[in-house]
Amino acid sequence: MPSIEAITPTIRKTALNPVHRAMGAKMVEFNGWDMPVEYPSAGGIIAEHNAVRTSVGIFDVSHMGDIRLSGLDALDAVQHISMNDASRLAIGQAQYSALLYPQGTFVDDVIVHRLAETDYLLVINAGTREKDFNWVRDNTRHFNCKVENLSDEFTQIAIQGPQGVELLQKLTDADLSAVKFYWVTRGTVCGLKNTLIARTGYTGEDGFEIYVPPDESTSAMVWNKVLEAGKELAVAPCGLGARNTLRLEAKLPLYGHEISDNINVWEAGLDRFCKMEKPDFIGRAALEKSKAEGVKRMLVGLEMIERGIARDGYKVLDETGSEIGYVTSGSFAPFLKKNIALAYVPPQFAAVGSTVKVEIRGQGVKAQVVPTPFYKRPKRT
Amino acid sequence: MAYPSDFKYTKEHEWIKADGNTGTIGITAYAQESLGDIVFVDLPKVGAEVTAGKTFGTVESVKAVSDLYAPASGTVTEVNAELATAPEKINKDAHGAWMIKIALKDPSELGSLLSAADYEKFVNEEGGH
């Protein structure tokens, strides 16, 4: 008989886990990680969400994984395994992209950062860390390129919201005003030299993600200094609950929901991140075929017209009650104060203004296809 | 957390206050705290029958959907319409923000429910609060 320890999957913890618990966060399991879902002391999900929209919030996103590709053929390797055109990246620039299966469906979505001439960092999802690393390693063997799994090398903290730049600037010598959205820099942060600072995020707001050493004391020191520096900006510590509602309002896909191994790029509507004209990449041939044939379903934004909240997995029905699709993510949207959802429906129902129903506890509840993203941050000067 | 001693409680975290033949029903402070920000309630209409131990509606927070279980059987006589537009009142005052009132079918059903002291003991064991 195997011991209980051997058959029970280990719940992983980030270096900030004791800090979250000391702050009274409600903890949940997410993709095998023990993570904060909300901080009642910060007012909970809605207050955390709105802090990010109107001022600033911080998140522990250390569960995200990191894969480094470096060496002579690093660019060719990245080009081969990802759908966006990494040759367009200047040193210090980042892009949203995805790793695809030969069928044109998703291994994962990623942010590709070009850190140096032949040095790329892929930031990947928590739930797909091992799968992604194995996929990248196995599919880049024929390139002169070193592939490293750096997932456990960083504590990653996201500082998100219109006041994120003001907050982080207090803690670093790097000139953040010179760092554009989806660019990276390095600087001293909280006394830590050469810290990677990326102007990226998963909230639909301006913001930064910083990568600091993963030991508990350094991680706690940085987290606490960020909170302290953000006091006058009313910074909120934020959990995965707000992270999910923020990304939903901004229509940022979540692996296992809007994208997966049986959804392709065109269905997910991620066309503008897929560069068919660049050199061949895994999934390209299938996508070309799919484009010629046309897709059978499309990701749309729904707003509930009648009372009810569409939730992940709920059925989408036509006016007559026939099943036509399903909800991938749905929630009350805390900033927009509406009940919104993302769903896959056939193209004939995908036009903005189309009316459908969502089956909620056996009842068809009316919803309308609306433009997405539901929320777009205002241009600030 | 103070649980009113004139209420009775279920292990599913509803409370009921009996006043003669009328039972007023809501969810407990522990329930609202576990749920987090409440954004939606789905309640039966006046005249509907509810049965002890069976679901009579739904309460939803940002992150979760939970069924509501009737502490006792009866006919719905009143629904707190305010909660349709202001469900957050449950977070602010769970023991004041009642959901439905029922005409009790059998007031003796309440005898099998938890007292305030027993309920408090139950949630302390369950949630470590």
Give the count of beta carbons closer than 10 Å to the beta carbon of residue B20.
Answer: 8
Q: Which of B112, B121, B95, B113 is nearest to B25 (CA)?
A: B95
Q: Is residue B2 part of a domain?
A: no
Q: Is residue B1 part of a domain?
A: no
**Could you give phi then psi for residue A109, rounded to 5 degrees?**
-100, 150
Residue A51 Cα, gap to closest chain B Cα (Å) = 15
The token duo for A83 is 């759908």
Residue A231 Cα, gap to closest chain B Cα (Å) = 23
The token duo for A87 is 């040759």
| Low-confidence winner among A8-22, A208-222, A307-321, B17-31 (lowest mean pLDDT) | A8-22
Evaluate whether A351 touches A372 at the Cβ level (below 8 Å). Answer: no
User: CA separation (Å) from A370 to A257, A305, A334, A355?
Assistant: 19, 11, 17, 10
The token duo for A167 is 């907050």
Domain carrying residue B74: 8-125
Q: Which of B46, B30, B41 is nearest to B95 (CA)?
A: B30
Question: Which domains does chain A show, CATH number per domain?
Answer: 4-61+154-249 (3.30.1360.120), 63-147+264-293 (3.30.70.1400), 296-381 (2.40.30.110)
Whole-angstrom Cα distance, residue B96 to residue B28?
Answer: 10
**Mean pLDDT along residues A243-254:** 98
Tell me the per-residue pLDDT of A28-53, one tens digit each, with 9 for 90 and over: 999 999 999 999 999 999 999 999 99
Q: Could you say which residues from 20 to 39 on chain A have a Cβ atom under 8 Å away from some Cβ of chain B? A: 26, 37-38
Tell me the per-residue pLDDT of A185-216, one tens digit each, with 9 for 90 and over: 999 999 999 999 999 999 999 999 999 999 99
pLDDT for residue A10 = 84
Q: Is residue B3 part of a domain?
A: no
Core vs surface per residue A342-367: b (16+ CB within 10 A) or e? bbbbeeebbeeebebbbbbeeebbbb
The token duo for A253 is 């896909």
> Is the CB of A332 less than 8 angstroms away from the CB of B36?
no
Q: Give me the CATH number covering residue B101.
A: 2.40.50.100
Q: Is residue B77 part of a domain?
A: yes
Angle between helices A240-249 and A45-54 (to 10 degrees): 50
Mutation target vs B (from A254, A329, A332, A365; most B CBs, 10 A cutoff): A332
Q: Which of A65, A7, A62 is nearest to A35 (CA)?
A: A62
> Is the CB of A309 less than 8 angstroms away from the CB of B60?
yes
Q: Which residues contact B49 (CB under 8 A, 6 or more apart)?
A: B73, B74, B75, B76
Give the model's confidence band at A3: pLDDT under 50 very low, under 70 low, under 90 confident, else very high: very low
Domain count for chain B, please give it.
Answer: 1
- Asked if the C-beta of A241 comes within 8 angstroms of chain B's C-beta atoms, the answer is yes
Give the model's confidence band at A12: pLDDT under 50 very low, under 70 low, under 90 confident, else very high: very high
Q: Which of A229, A97, A220, A102 is nearest to A159 (CA)?
A: A229
Tell me, rounded to whole angstroms, the distance of Cα A123 from its chain centroid. Answer: 9
